[in-house]
Homo-oligomer: A and B are copies of this chain.
């Protein structure tokens, strides 16, 4: 097996992926300040020194663990039906909020004031997601389905209620909720934006 260690899919890559996955789970459970390298190693089925050797800095470990999920978090489909694509986007967010990955990201956002590195990672992940939404909104604007809008606030307006409902956990977030949110915000944006 000599020489295969650095090949993608090889042993090193697999070990790294296991360590990063374990990190995400533990950050989700214990927070960035609370998770322990020993437990990461236990969960990943590796020796503690493998974790320390690869990531001597715990912030770098957290940042890399979070960044692997950029792709999962930053997709908005283009089926040609804006309403449907946005409703699907909200359903993905709602389902994601129940996953360790995204809970880890949420935990991380509570720590952004303490750690510049984590702040940069969280900012980058949120920017990727917001860039994906922006690309989809640009298509809609080019197709004259939507006036030019403030992307950031638009994203916050449709996803904010999803976060609130899921995080409170007092009632389930349904597709009907997602549809109503998208309908109200789209209609409101069209009614209030100049040059609509």
Q: Which residues of A contact B (CB under 8 A)?
A: 109-110, 112-113, 122-123, 126, 150, 153, 156-157, 159-165, 167-170, 177, 180-181, 183-192
Contacts and interface: CB of A to CB of B under 8 A. Distances in A.
Contacts of A164: 156, 159-160, 163-164
A162 B153 CA distance: 10
Contacts of A153: 161, 177, 180-181
A89 B137 CA distance: 30
- Name the prevailing secondary structure of the A interface residues: helix
Contacts of A163: 160, 163-164
Contacts of A157: 157, 161, 181, 184-185
Contacts of A185: 157, 184-185, 188
Given A109-B168, A109-B169, A187-B191, 11 more contacts: A113-B169, A126-B168, A126-B170, A157-B185, A160-B164, A160-B165, A183-B192, A184-B192, A185-B185, A186-B188, A188-B191
Nearest to A177: B153
A183 B159 CA distance: 17
Contacts of A181: 153, 157
A76 B50 CA distance: 56
Contact of A161 (B126, B156, B177, B190): B156
Nearest to A153: B180
